[in-house]
Amino acid sequence: MNKYKTLLKDTSIFAIGSIASKAIIFFLVPLYTNYLSTEEYGIADLVFTMAQMLIPFVSLVIFDGVIRFGLMYKERTQDVLLVGLIVWGAGCSVTIFLTPLFAKYSSIGVWSLYLCVYVCVNVLLSIELNYLKVLNKNMDYAIISIIQTVALAVLNIYFLVIKQWKIEGYLMANIISQIIAIIFASIFCDLIKELKKAKLDKKIAKEMITYSSPLILNNLSWWIIQSSDKVMIEAMVGAAELGLYTVACKIPSLISVFVAVFQQAWGISSIKEMDSGNETEFYSIVFQYFFFFIGILCLGIIVIVRPFMVIYAHGNGYEEAWRLVPMLLASALFSAIAAYYGGMYGALKKSINNMISTAVAAIVNIGVNLLCIRWIGVFGAVTGTFVSYLILALMRMVDVNKYVHIDIKKKLFLLNLVLIITDSILITVNFHIYFVSVVSFVAFLLINQKSLIDILRNLWEHNEILKRKNK
């Protein structure tokens, strides 16, 4: 039982900064939809989409190397930080040099300077935040994340509502909020003092670059799966459709937040249990509860998605964005399954398998997008996202099962998937949406009543234990 409590505790700790920050960002969307047209929002989001593509190349993914080798060289963490900052400086120099080239992309050409500045500050902040993890300053990490997001909200209100600066205001708010977070981390978390003790160690530098640079391909593959469709939507059907898609993606991002938090804790727990040699039952039970929670979350959101979106993204032509959400939620379910098995790859030390599965899904995503976006517009991008995550999840499930058996109760699992996918399709085509969504939600509870009863019983037992301790 302790291992389950440890997983829950770790998930709760990682959730502090992530959920608070993501909640603020989520509730900023009505502000964007009121003060930015669909086309303006699409262009603004496209700038950051292109930035996320450039970041792995500019940074060599050195921020991952900082946390990996910072934990390895515990007595020389300052040297690891120095290497990260040197790579960051070199990357910024290259980015600035290439700014005129980015300006050639007509859709974002006028915003190319903002793009480059964002890339530079984002990489620096990632290095600093990962270094806080190395120092075990997890609460500082959470506080800095919240400070950044609060600053983002305040600056958005100032630039969009008061100054009416539209795209420029949106971009500046994102850049300045990250600069504020960098300043707080550098001064109040003593990172400047840490850097003063650092010495350049060529051996550490070589190890870090050798470790992090191959991650460029993996990060690029994830960018293709998660963001390339935005570039293709803008190029094929226009920025206005991209604006609709961007708003619709905010809803399944709620699930992504939970999955990201869980994945951090799961990565630790899966490794510990693999080393203990008693992994099969633990992995199977965690998957059962994890799948049930994500499934009920998806179906629950689908029940309220249309009336919620009317309030959440009203005005300026965003009304039809709700139709994109159900299939994106189904995609998020498969993304969650892929994340669960991705954690297994870490425990199994099969990073190459992880990368291959991601690369295959990325190729599928591009292929489906090219075929479908011109045919059915923005729904083609939704289809590409769904198919790529479906293939990614199935590939990882089959592959991981070669190394460790996870009992997923195949008939029940497939019945759940058919129910969720059917519900998503029927809601998308506006077929008796309230009746279908409620029936699907109830049916899922009935089909998975054993999981529900187990969860409720465990919660009751935990509550009884707490009561006895407090007496």
pLDDT tens-digit series, residues 241-251: 999 999 999 88
The rounded distance, in Å, linking the Cα atoms of 81 and 69 is 9
Cα separation of the two ends of the chain: 23
| pLDDT computed for residue 355 by the predictor | 83
| pLDDT computed for residue 408 by the predictor | 83
| pLDDT computed for residue 347 by the predictor | 64
Query: What does the pLDDT average to over 450-471?
Result: 64
Mean of the per-residue pLDDT values for the chain? Answer: 86
- In the predicted structure, residue 399 carries a pLDDT above the cut 50: yes
Place of tokens 């290497």: 83
pLDDT in tens, 245-274: 999 998 898 888 777 776 655 555 555 555
- In the predicted structure, residue 104 carries a pLDDT above the cut 80: yes
Query: What does the pLDDT average to over 68-91?
Result: 89
pLDDT in tens, 344-367: 776 676 767 888 899 999 999 999
On whether residue 103 sits in a domain, the answer given is no
On whether residue 315 sits in a domain, the answer given is yes
| pLDDT computed for residue 273 by the predictor | 56
Torsion angle of alpha carbons 419, 423, 424, 425, nearest 10°?
110
The rounded distance, in Å, linking the Cα atoms of 121 and 96 is 12
Distance of CA 53 to the CA centre of its chain: 14
Helices 253-276, 279-312: axis angle to 10 degrees equals 170
- In the predicted structure, residue 3 carries a pLDDT above the cut 60: no
On whether residue 415 sits in a domain, the answer given is yes
pLDDT in tens, 7-54: 555 556 556 666 667 777 878 888 998 999 989 999 999 999 999 999
On whether residue 178 sits in a domain, the answer given is no
Distance of CA 205 to the CA centre of its chain: 28
Share of the chain above pLDDT 90, in %: 52
Number of domains in the chain: 1
Give the H/E segment covering residue 403: none
Task: Find the domain containing 277 and state its range.
Answer: 215-471
On whether residue 118 sits in a domain, the answer given is no
On whether residue 340 sits in a domain, the answer given is yes
On whether residue 280 sits in a domain, the answer given is yes
Query: Under a CB-based contact definition with an 8 Å cutoff, are residues 118 and 174 in contact?
Result: yes
On whether residue 352 sits in a domain, the answer given is yes
Band the pLDDT of 1: cuts 50, 70, 90. very low
pTM: 0.80
The rounded distance, in Å, linking the Cα atoms of 331 and 348 is 26
DSSP string for residues in 109-122: GGGHHHHHHHHHHH
Band the pLDDT of 142: cuts 50, 70, 90. confident
